[in-house]
Amino acid sequence: MKNTVPLKNNNEFLKIYKKGRFYAARNIVLYVMKNRLNLNRLGITVSKKFGKSVKRNRIKRLIRENYRHYEDLIKVGYDIVFVARRNEYMPDYFDVKKEIKYLLRKFDLFIG
């Protein structure tokens, strides 16, 4: 990903949860907070309640790939955290894509 680096430290996640804005969709919650950097920082979290590691890693891959798809259209200078919500079914690629687009529009993160 070109303009994006991963969030890794727990205190960075906690700061975004505490001070950032959030909006929830059916399968994903998006937390957003401005940073003073010339790049975006991306974090993806999935609780162990979501399922075994295979399911958790699959949803993380789906979110990461869909974010990469929209990356060139997203404004720069934000900390973005996606949190997968537990659901009775595993969302497919297009469900995740639709929700990410919806959430990014809610925060007006698209260029133009």
Backbone angles phi and psi of 13, in degrees to 5: -60, -45
Task: Enumerate residue ranges in the chain where pLDDT < 50.
Answer: none
pTM greater than 0.95 = no
Crossing angle, helix 93-106 and helix 53-70, to 10 degrees? 50
Task: Show the domains of the chain with their CATH numbers.
Answer: 23-106 (3.30.230.10)
pLDDT tens for each residue of 14-30? 999 999 999 999 999 99
Burial of 72 (0-12, 13-18, 19+ CB in 10 A): exposed
